[in-house]
Every structure is written in C-alpha cells, then in structure tokens.
Amino acid sequence: MSEPLLPTDPASIGGHRLLARLGAGGMGVVYLGRTEAGALAAVKVIQAEYADEPDFRARFRREVETARRVTSPWAVPVTGADPDAAAPWLATAFVPGPSIEEAVGRHGPLPVRSVRVLGRMLAAALREVHAAGLVHRDVKPANVLLAVDGPRLIDFGIACATDETAITSADMVVGTPGFLSPEQAEARGAAVGPPSDIFSLGCLLAYAVSGRPPFGTGAADALLYRTVHDEPDLAGIEAEEDTEDGELLTLLHMCLAKDPADRPTAEQICTVLLVEDLVPDGGPIDWLPDDVVRGIADRSSKMLALPDIEPTVADAPGDAERPSPGRRRLLLASGAALLMAAGGTAAWAALRDDDPPGASASRTRRWAIGVQADLSGSQRTAGQAQERGARLAIEQFNSRKSKPFTLTVKTADDRGTTEGAPAAAKKLIQDEDVLAVLGPSNNETALEVLPTYDEALLPVLSVSAGGLLLTSQDYRSYLQCRPADAVVAFPMAVHLAALKGARLPGLLQDRTAQTYGWEASQSTTLLLRGFGLQPYPRVIPANTEDVKPVVADMLGAGIDSFIYSGYAPGAARVARELAAAGFEGPRLAPQAVLDPEFLELAGDAAEGWLLTSSFIDASAVPAAAAFRAAFRKRYAAEPGYYAAEAYDTVNLLIQELVKATKRGQPPKRQELVGLLRKSRYKGITKEFAFKPEDGTFDGWGVFLHQVDGGRFRFLGEAPSEV
C-alpha cells in the first residue's frame, strides 16, 4: 500500500518526518509521516506550482476548513494543515486498514452483520457532516477505510457547504459514477443536499454486501443513465423481513429511492433503522471478518516498523557532520558510474564544464518536439495529419537564418489504442531531447498516459482529444488546445434557439458512443433548456442496428428538429430512417459524425445535415492559404483535418521556446508547462489561450460544416449566442 520515497521528495513537511509514499495524483502526493511524538499521519502535499493560483488555493483552503468542521469518531480527523505554505499541506490521522473497495476486492463481500454495523457508523459520520452544514458528495468504497474499532470516512476535497456557492460549476457532474445520486448525475446544482449522501451510502452498502455496484459497471454515461432511470440490482440479498438480510434490504431500498424526499436522514438510520447495532463506548467491536482483521494487523505492524529517515542536507541541524572530502569523491564517482552505465558517453559529456559560458547546447544536439499519435491504426488519417502539420511548422522554423536553435520531430505511434499508448509515452519521456509532446490523438489514449507524462512533468498539448474527463482531472503538464467535446456541441442548441418556430427538438443519444455521446447530449440538453426549449430525449442501447422504432417514436411525438449524439455509423442509420419518413426539419450532430464514413453510409440521406467541430477546413479559410500552399508543396496532398491545428500548436510551442531560451539552453520541462499555460497565440485556426490553473482551453474555436452535394462544406465559425 506504500512506496519508497523518491530522491526528489522532501524529508519533512510541517513537523512530520516523511517515511513513504501512500499515493500520488495530478495535483500532489500523499505521504506517510511521523510526528516527533511518534504518531503516524497521512500528509497530503500540493505541488508548489499551484501556490500562485488563487482559485486553487481557495479550493484547498476550503477542503481544510471543511474537514475541520466534522467531528466524528468515524471520520478521519485533521491533525495539522497549512494552506498558505509554499507547498500547501494537510495532515490527517493515519488509518492502516484497507478501503472497503480494497477489502471487498481482496476478500469478497462483507457479512451482513458487518455491513449493518458499517452502515450504522457511517450514518453517524454523515450525521455530523450534515449537522455542520456540509454535503460530502463522494461517499464511495474507496473513501471509507476499515479499522478494527470502526470505519473512517475520508476525503472532503469536493464537499460543499449547503449555504454557500460551490467553486465547481453548477452544471458539472461531481462525484464518482456508480456511487452518486440521481440529482448529482443530472447536475442539479443546489438540489444536491444531504439526501444525496444517503443515496451514495446505499450504493456503498450494497457494494459491501454483494461485491458489486448496484447500478453495474461500464462507461460513465451508462452508469449515470442507470442511476437516474433504472432500479438498483440488489439480487442475492434476502428479502425476509425478520432476518438481518431482509432488514438490510429494506434499508437499501429506502436509501436508493430516486426522490430525495423519500430517503431517510442520517439521524433516522442511526436512531431508528439500525438502532440495535449500537456501538459500545470505548469497548471492543467485533464486527469485521477474521481475514480482514489479520490484514489490518499486518499493515499496522509494518507501519510501526518503518525506520526514521536520516536528516538530509536541507533540514540537517547546524552541527550535523558534513561528509569528508573522501566521502564526497566516492559519492561523485558512484554517481558518474551510474550515469555512464545508463547513458554512456553522452550522459558524461552533459556534465562536462569545458564549454565557455553561453555556449549553445544545440551545437551537439537538436531539441525535439515529440508527436504521440495513431499513425498506423484505425484513426491514422487524423494522426498522420497532425504529424505532417507539426513537421511543416518545424521545417519552416529551421529554414530561418536567424534561428536561435534547431528543432526536430520525434514520433511515437500508439496505434490509437490504450495498449500501445504507455510504450509510446515512455519512449518520448525517456528521450531527454524531447521538450514537449503533441498528442495523444484520442480521449482513451490520453487518459491512459497523462498521469505518466505528469510524473515526468513533460508538457503535453492535444489538438484532437477533448473528453470531459481530461478537463476534470488535475493534470499538471496537460494543455488542451481545443474546446472540450461538450462545448463543441453547444452550437447545436444555439442554432435551434435562433430558428423561428422551433418548438420540440428531438435528441437521440446513442450509447455506442459511451461517454462521448453522453457528454454531447447532456450539454445540449442543458443549453436547450436554458433557451426555453424542452427536448424530447431518447436513448438507444449500444450497437443498436434497427433504429426505425425509436425514430418512429420521436416523429410520432411531433419533433420539428433532430439532434443525434453519437458516432458516424449510427448517424448514417438514423439519417436513412429520417429520409425514408420524409423528415425535412433541421438535423444536427457533433464532431464525431464529421467523418467520410457518414457520407459513404448515409448517401443522399446525409444532405443538409449540420455538424459542429473544433477544426477548420484549411481549403476554405483565407487565413490558411499560405499554410495550405506550403502543405500541398511539401506533401503533394490537401491538408487533412487537424493538420492546421497541429501546425498552429507547434508554432505556439516555438514562440515560447524562443522567448525562454537563455544562453543557448532551453527551458526545463516543468518551466515550459508554466510558460505555455500563460501564453497567447494568434494562429490561422483560432486564438490560443489557456486557464493557467489547469491548462484547459480558454476560448471559443468551434466551427460549422454542412453536407452539401455529397461533401462537407465549411461554413465558418459557429455562433456562440443567439
């Protein structure tokens, strides 16, 4: 459960001697620490680069204040914090036991009595949370640790006061799909109150007693849909009222009621529904299976046996013994031997001090921009377009007479798969010449490797990945050089709201598209409602071939426009059915349908469809004329989608590299991340700007295309308002 400290980790934080790593994420690291008195603590340390971001520091300060407001024996107490430190930190009491998620995964479902006691104590914790005017909002198996004397509720990072405005957007789904409430799944904002935590508690208890989430597993959109519309799967839990199983089943049904008003309060669970499972004051609680208890004991002994760390130079006392010259020579010799073994003569040459001050490192090596993309798989057309756009930008830069350095391109083909992505990322990370990476080219591969790039602090700039999960994670080295998928779907609602006489838009979400389809449909629904249009929504299961019944249902309801949220093959099936029925109203779809496959499969039925995108058609944009001419000369072909966007992104990189290069030395990778997030660049496709705190795209950059004469005709920038 713990890992050794890295050489870059501090030796102590806030009076805690650090012993090991407990975990790491995009925004920081959680360490196992020991106080001078010998008490163990979990110390959450935020990366120093976020210290200058007021919004982030406010968020962390709120987490500290929120956690301190909860006083319950079943919630992990805060033992220290400094949100104003250069690297803000928060310490809580360390619990050596596993999470419910880990315990169930390793030992199987918990006995019914264990789950009843678990529910009683967690309800007591939530009673204190709600009494403090808070909503936890992320009650899930991973956020409950098991100890011999009872569970501990942890992680108040996204908790919110019931009487304050959340820092997160009111329209954002906050929580963990599969363990959140219907009101969270539908992003109802202020409607997410204490009953939401009770629903999540029901999900958690169902998981603990059955070993499976009550709304199944799979893509986030599927889980959210089932949470709102389907009944929970509680099969296998006995229903006889006079048994513990039956009483637990009754409680689960009450907690998992769709209407928040029908759920019990935490107080009612403690004092009425599970009153016989009272927890003795100060006495032992025999509530966990023997194998779980043995695991907790083993972990406790290992934690207590961890040795202290010797003081480092940074925090050693003033009278600490300094290494002797002989000792120092031995360390340097050992380090040189390791460098020689790892990198040969090139690594040794990098440490030499023979060049005069100001000598350029580019005399002996060429700095590189990496490209991780699908260059040989099913999405190779887009990946190859990005590589070509990047190469063209670098070749044009290298042709300048007064260039301060020379660049090259280094590629890593991930074949567009999550299996190939890690090796591609590792190849670029280990190449010291690579200063930044363009890519990856789809959401799945990006999610797979961004944590790895984060660990190396290697800047990653994506022009084609745009999933909501990418923008909701706290990645340190990521920049999204395009609006998110949900934003790209906005113009569909704007377009319909601007039409005179629009009354009832039909909205079909194809679950073949999983998260992508859900994001597009959710954002469109919210915006349509904001414009006063209530859509007629329908959802079809994944891989549905026969769409005629659902299309007939929607037409029978009297829809006057149609929005499809999914991929190109499904859109083609729908287009053919609409054409066969003689429907001539507006038909719209998001970027994924802007694919030659849609034209091929739909045929004449594709005519008139309006599509949104985050990319331009370089042949139809006057500002891209010079780029298009250079591209055709270099590659004897028209630039494909994303080629111009990749060209712009690499020119943005070059702009910041030129400004930051000093005395022939490039900026370090971590420094470059900060510079890029604060940069602005006017490209041929759009104006690039980012939110410094998370690297998300800060601008519009959404475009319209329409099928006309069997081809996609570029209409220009999409309107952002009616």
Do 703 and 82 contact (CB within 8 A), yes or no?
Answer: no
| Residue 614 identity | S
Output the CA–CA distances (angstroms, integers) from residue 222 to 177, 214, 469, 510, in the order listed. Answer: 9, 13, 15, 11
| pLDDT for position 121 | 92
Question: What CA–CA distance (Å, rounded) separates 205 from 625?
Answer: 61
Mean pLDDT, to the nearest integer, of 337-352? Answer: 29
| pLDDT for position 66 | 76
Mean pLDDT, to the nearest integer, of 477-492? Answer: 94
| pLDDT for position 242 | 46
pLDDT tops 60 at residue 275: no
Coil, strand or helix at 396: helix
Output the CA–CA distances (angstroms, integers) from residue 646 to 359, 522, 692, 702, in the order listed. Answer: 32, 29, 21, 16
| pLDDT for position 1 | 62
| pLDDT for position 203 | 97
| pLDDT for position 200 | 96
Mean pLDDT, to the nearest integer, of 464-473? Answer: 82
pLDDT tops 60 at residue 652: yes
| pLDDT for position 514 | 84
| pLDDT for position 43 | 92
Q: pLDDT digit string (tens) for 8-40? A: 788 899 999 998 888 876 567 889 998 877 788
With cut-offs at 50, 70 and 90, classify the pLDDT of residue 571: very high
With cut-offs at 50, 70 and 90, classify the pLDDT of residue 46: confident
Closest residue by Cα to residue 83 from 147, 2, 129, 14: 14
Packing angle between helix 244-255 and helix 112-131, nearest 10 degrees?
30
393: which 2 tokens? 């930008």
Please give the residue that has the higher pLDDT: either 315 or 493: 493
| pLDDT for position 360 | 40
522: which 2 tokens? 């959710």
Work out the burial of residue 32: count CB atoms within 10 Å of its CB; fewer than 13 is exposed, 13-18 middle, 19 or more buried: buried
Any bridge partners for residue 90, and if so which? 44, 81
With cut-offs at 50, 70 and 90, classify the pLDDT of residue 165: very low
| pLDDT for position 38 | 75
Half-sphere exposure of 144 (CA within 13 A, CB side): 29
| pLDDT for position 337 | 32
Least-confidence region, from 251-255, 313-317, 365-369: 313-317
| pLDDT for position 333 | 33
Question: What CA–CA distance (Å, rounded) separates 240 from 382?
Answer: 58
Do 407 and 465 contact (CB within 8 A), yes or no?
Answer: no
| pLDDT for position 189 | 74
Mean pLDDT, to the nearest integer, of 707-720? Answer: 96
Mean pLDDT, to the nearest integer, of 214-227? Answer: 88
With cut-offs at 50, 70 and 90, classify the pLDDT of residue 161: low
Length of the chain: 722
| pLDDT for position 328 | 33
Q: pLDDT digit string (tens) for 390-435? A: 999 999 999 998 888 999 999 999 999 999 999 999 999 999 999 9
With cut-offs at 50, 70 and 90, classify the pLDDT of residue 265: very high
Q: pLDDT digit string (tens) for 547-568? A: 999 999 999 999 999 999 999 9
Question: What CA–CA distance (Å, rounded) separates 551 from 587?
Answer: 13
| pLDDT for position 149 | 84
Mean pLDDT, to the nearest integer, of 501-516? Answer: 90
Question: What CA–CA distance (Å, rounded) separates 416 from 158?
Answer: 33
Question: What CA–CA distance (Å, rounded) separates 41 from 10?
Answer: 16
Mean pLDDT, to the nearest integer, of 436-459? Answer: 94
Concatenated DSSP letters for 103-132?
A: HHHHH-SPPHHHHHHHHHHHHHHHHHHHHT
Least-confidence region, from 214-218, 370-374, 437-441: 214-218
Pairing type for strands 12-13 and 16-24 reads: antiparallel
| pLDDT for position 299 | 73
The rounded radius of gyration (Å) of the Cα atoms in the chain is: 28
Please give the residue that has the higher pLDDT: either 2 or 612: 612
With cut-offs at 50, 70 and 90, classify the pLDDT of residue 444: very high
Question: What CA–CA distance (Å, rounded) separates 219 from 518?
Answer: 10
Please give the residue that has the higher pLDDT: either 238 or 647: 647
Q: Which residues carry out catalysis? A: 138
With cut-offs at 50, 70 and 90, classify the pLDDT of residue 146: very high
Alpha helices in 19-172 (DSSP H): 54-69, 100-107, 112-131
Question: What CA–CA distance (Å, rounded) separates 267 from 279?
Answer: 15
Mean pLDDT, to the nearest integer, of 253-264? Answer: 94
Which of 56-65, 535-544, 704-713 is predicted most confidently?
A: 704-713
| pLDDT for position 25 | 63
| pLDDT for position 54 | 72
Mean pLDDT, to the nearest integer, of 512-520? Answer: 88
Packing angle between helix 100-107 and helix 290-304, nearest 10 degrees?
120
Coil, strand or helix at 92: strand
Q: What percent of the chain has pLDDT over 70?
A: 84
Collect all residues with Cβ–Cβ distance below 8 Å to 69 and sequence separation of at least 6. Answer: 132, 133, 134
Question: What CA–CA distance (Å, rounded) separates 505 from 566?
Answer: 16
| pLDDT for position 428 | 96
Q: For the chain, give the mean pLDDT.
A: 84
With cut-offs at 50, 70 and 90, classify the pLDDT of residue 303: low
Specify the long-range contacts of residues 629-636, CB closer than 8 Å, at least 24 apart.
Answer: 630/392, 630/396, 631/388, 631/389, 631/392, 634/388, 634/391, 634/392, 634/395, 635/388
| pLDDT for position 366 | 76
With cut-offs at 50, 70 and 90, classify the pLDDT of residue 60: confident
pLDDT tops 90 at residue 507: yes
Question: What CA–CA distance (Å, rounded) separates 677 from 698?
Answer: 10
| pLDDT for position 472 | 67
Hey, which bits of 162-319 come out as E strands?
A: none
pLDDT tops 80 at residue 178: yes
Closest residue by Cα to residue 191 from 264, 269, 270, 258: 258
Coil, strand or helix at 254: helix
Least-confidence region, from 71-80, 381-390, 428-437, 469-478: 469-478
With cut-offs at 50, 70 and 90, classify the pLDDT of residue 306: low
Query: Please, what are the domains in the chain?
Result: 12-93 (3.30.200.20), 100-300 (1.10.510.10), 325-354 (no CATH), 365-482+619-690 (3.40.50.2300), 487-613+705-717 (3.40.50.2300)
pLDDT tops 50 at residue 377: yes
| pLDDT for position 312 | 35
Q: Would you say the pTM of this structure is higher than 0.85?
A: no
